[in-house]
Amino acid sequence: MTAVRPETTAQPASDTSFPTGFVWGAATAAYQVEGAATEDGRTPSIWDTFSHTPGKVRNGDTGDIAADHYHRYRDDVALMKDLGLKAYRFSISWPRVQPTGRGPAVERGLDFYRRLTDALLEAGITPVATLYHWDLPQELEDAGGWPHRDTAHRFADYAALAARALGDRVGMWTTLNEPWCSAFLGYGSGVHAPGRTDPAATLRAAHHLNLAHGEAVGALRMALPSSAQVSITLNLHQVRPLTGSPEDAEAARRIDAVGNRIFTGPLLDGAYPEDLLRDTAHLVDWDELVRAGDLAEISRPLDVLGVNYYAPTVVSLPADGAASTRNDGHGASDHSPWTGSEQVAFHLANDDLTAMNWAIDAGGLHTLLTEMSARHPGLPLMVTENGAAFDDYVSPEGRVEDPQRIAYLRSHLDAVRRAIADGADVRGYFLWSLLDNFEWSYGYSKRFGAVYVDYPTQRRIPKASARWYAEVIRNNALPA
């Protein structure tokens, strides 16, 4: 068993190298790449149901086949080895392992992850497993989903099953990926599965996701060797007020509360922030929701914190009655995901945009890492997702040239390097994504991969950025 536990040392700011032992990886998510939606006992997740609902996903796309990673994982591992990846962050499909969200595991489902991790280890690549990347078994959603407290207990049981099966192979575990998206996009704005639009349910889901994490950490600690590392990955919003006005400072405070501190408060400080409770008291009874013992459960110690970053969040507070724009990067909906702070307006940080219309701003990643490290000294950080979608295409010569992505990666990796030089304890970087894949409500219209996937043939073509990233990994440094 190999754990991602590098000992890193800071380097001079003028150096382009990264610390010895820095972990270089790439990431995917089960529903986005695996396909095989009905094979070996797998039952529908909320994303199967959502994507098969007309009008929910662009072009009617589904993850039924996706990048067919379930059948092509050996070829994909060979690609990873060719690129020199040191680690691969994948997610386990809950309905593949435990189809109803209850009861014993389906061994055929676990066998896929056993085969995958064995192939990774044979290639010298460290497996990093995420237990939940948004694919809740549909039966659990039918029983109430994340707003229902029992779902947290079911998740802890599932975590124990996965850990007992793979704990001899996998040394680093992530409980949840981006619980903010699960709660606020899934139950608030409805742009993600299960597509509900209930502000009170959103807050209840957030608390039960926090509780699920805490209970899963306990289950993992019981099942795994003491050398294993346990983590959670958050899509922390690097919040900026549009101007220096008190109104915009208030907007930033509100969004930091509902976008960040609703998770970092209980996870890292053992309490929900008082201002968040005040902002949302009209929507939920927090005294009823948070039971005795919950916060102690949620705040179990972590070995590392995963940080996902794509773009900064710029906000203002319009005058009463003024129209509120929402360029927040989280999809179009008549319902705001910013529960309790729906009046806040969102703006693009600049006009240098990716194909997702997300502003390119590497400085936000530097700020996020240095501030988190200063607020929580002693807690190592890992960049578990960072990347960009562009309008990639195959040239007549059969190549995929993506200079915009290379420029994006260079600036963001330099931001990580500078954060380390400034004292942030950042242990590694996982590129999003290894492969082009099913990009949630955007279907197959957006390409984040370092490797181009021709979906009709499933042919893989490493993009120029993949070769550039391989050079970075090989030299443990940015190219001159």
CB 451 within 8 A of CB 50: no
- Please, are residues 46 and 457 in contact by the beta-carbon 8 Å criterion? no
**Residue 246 backbone zone (phi > 0: left; psi -120 to 50: alpha; other: beta):** alpha
DSSP H helices in 360-402? 363-375
Task: Read off the amino acid at residue 269.
Answer: D
Q: Which residues contact 106 (CB under 8 A, 6 or more apart)?
A: 40, 41, 42, 96, 97, 98, 99
The residues annotated with a catalytic role in the active site are 178, 385
Q: Look at phi and psi of residue 280 and say left if phi exceeds 0, alpha if psi is from -120 to 50, else beta.
A: alpha
For 24, the 3-state DSSP assignment is strand
- Report the distance separating Cα 265 and Cα 274, nearest Å: 10
Amino acid at 48: D
Read off φ and ψ for residue 90, nearest 5 degrees: -125, 160
**Residue 477: Cβ-neighbour burial (10 angstroms; 0-12, 13-18, 19+):** middle
Structure-token pair, residue 392: 């990639």
Q: Which helix (H) or strand (E) holds 144?
A: none
Token look-up 């006992």 returns 41
- Rg of the Cα atoms in the chain: 21
Report in angstroms the alpha-carbon separations of 178 from 263, 270, 309.
10, 19, 11
Residues near 51 by Cβ (< 8 Å), separated by ≥ 6? Answer: 57, 61, 62, 63, 193, 438, 443
**CA distances, 347 to each of 253, 298, 321 (Å):** 16, 33, 18
For 411, the token pair is: 């600036």
Residue 249, Cβ neighbours under 10 Å: how many? Answer: 15
